[in-house]
Amino acid sequence: MIKALYLDDMQLKEFEAEVTSVKDGKYVVLNQTAFYPKSGGIANDEGTLTRGSEVFNVVYVGKFGGAISHEVDKEGLQVGDKVTGTLNWDRRYHLMRFHTAAHVLSGAFYKNLGAKITGNDIATLDQGRIDFNLEHFDRSLIEEQVENSNKIIQEDHPVDVYYLERSDVEKDPDLVKLAMGIPKGIKTIRIVDIKGFDRQPDGGCHIQSLKEIGKISIKKLVNKGKNNRRLYFTIE
């Protein structure tokens, strides 16, 4: 069972934990963690695990076989060790701003053009990418949605995270389609709610209020063929 502290406290920068397994000397599982593992098109957190005065840099975090595994830069951690985990907060905060910005863009594309997001990639700190199924590759239409997104950001809607019962999600016309891909065994679904604008089932980390994003700008638009458009964006 993963005890993923970031799900309920996205502002948590430091935490205490115990090492529960170590594989090949460098892949460390903890009894709880605030490190976000690479998933859902969003890059992993980085930071450190500290034991006493010894610092292990966390260079990658992934989900493997239901556990969150922290890859550290050197061997030495042992099962039972007590560690302090510390996130590289600049990196995490930046990724959260990008992730919430991607939700604003997807909300604007869907509401105003009926276009659905087919993929996203927030892998680097200087750009994000979303793919969407807009019928015609119309630059001005896409630029207009980025402008609309920036207006929504200026309105500074709060971002809320909560859980809903699956049966309630399935009755909700806005959420049901998005929830279809979630395994049937999952009975409560985490919702990220940009108040008054967009709600989605989501397992990632977000900022608390839209103004934290700043401003979205287009880096590049790519026509990926039938129905598939790609937007590279940045925030400043």
The count of chain residues that interact with Zn ion, using the rule CB under 5 A, is 2
The least distance separating Zn ion from the CB of residue 99, rounded to whole angstroms, comes to 6
The least distance separating Zn ion from the CB of residue 125, rounded to whole angstroms, comes to 17
The least distance separating Zn ion from the CB of residue 86, rounded to whole angstroms, comes to 24
Q: How long is the chain? A: 236
The least distance separating Zn ion from the CB of residue 218, rounded to whole angstroms, comes to 20
**Of residues 26 and 157, the one with the C-beta less far from Zn ion:** 157
> Degrees (nearest 5) of the Cα angle 68, 175, 39?
20
The least distance separating Zn ion from the CB of residue 19, rounded to whole angstroms, comes to 30
**Of residues 46 and 202, the one with the C-beta less far from Zn ion:** 202
Distance CA 72, CA 65 (A): 18
Using Cβ positions, the residue closest to Zn ion within the complex turns out to be 202
Q: For the window 175-214, what string marks contact with Zn ion as x by the rule CB under 5 A?
A: ---------------------------x-x----------
46 lies in the binding site for Zn ion (CB under 5 A) = no
Residue 189's identity, in one-letter code, is: I
**Of residues 22 and 117, the one with the C-beta less far from Zn ion:** 117
Contact 191, 163 (CB under 8 A): yes
Q: Which residues bind Zn ion (CB under 5 A)?
A: 202, 204
